[in-house]
Amino acid sequence: MNTRHATHLLVVDDDAALRMMLRGVLELSDYRVSEADSRDAALRALAEANDIAVVVLDLGLPPHAHEISEGIATLQAIQDAILPVKVIVLTGQDQEAAALAAIREGAFDFLAKPASADAILRAVRRAELFLQKERELGAQGITRIAINAQISDGLKGVRVDAEERLVRQILKETGFNVNQSAKRLGVKRENIYYFLKKFGIERDA
């Protein structure tokens, strides 16, 4: 296997046997695989390896392995950090409720356990393709943002949420460079400082 240019994946599951099985399937298809068994371990792995492209996430994680809450919290943390990864959710829990919650929190794909090796590989390849296309759009100056909109909050609330997420994403993409961020957003430097104060954004956020 040539790992130098292989896509880096993270498998998050508290079942060591299942992690080993998934790792074997993925490595046989020339992917580089890291593992985590909890939310903290997953977020630590993502912080330490900035080249992880796809996360395969089991929703049933400790300390609530028989519920979806901890997996959803992990998904929320990944989305809040605006990480350039696609999350494929796996669950053996209430599939309808799990699918709805996962989609609401920005999951790229949803697979019910037990998922076949072919189904997992197809989902990973779809995620890779989407990431590639998003990078091509980024090279054209187009940034894709995802927000959850509560329609009852009205258009103003949706606009503010979209504005904040866009500002945070551009700052992250430019390494918090105010000049580059202002140029990308088509505003003055002073506007960036206004946004920082308005949204309470700090460099380490």
pLDDT digits (tens, 9 = 90+) for 84-133: 899 999 887 677 888 888 888 889 999 988 889 999 999 999 999 988 88
pLDDT tens-digit readout, 14-42:
999 999 999 999 999 999 999 999 999 99
Strands 52-58 and 8-12: parallel
pTM: 0.74
pLDDT tens-digit readout, 57-92:
999 899 988 888 999 999 999 988 888 899 999 887
Specify the long-range contacts of residues 166-171, CB closer than 8 Å, at least 24 apart.
167/192, 167/195, 167/199, 167/201, 168/82, 168/199, 168/201, 168/205, 169/82, 169/143, 169/145, 170/143, 171/201
- Are 113 and 92 in contact by the 8 Å Cβ rule? The answer is yes
Q: Which two tokens stand for residue 171?
A: 């700052």
> Which strands, in side-by-side order, build the sheet including 109-112?
32-36, 8-12, 52-58, 86-91, 109-112
Higher pLDDT, 97 or 48: 48
Distances, alpha carbon 1 to alpha carbons 30, 123, 187, in Å: 6, 21, 47
Question: Is the pLDDT score of 4 beyond 50?
Answer: no
DSSP letter (8 states) at residue 151: G
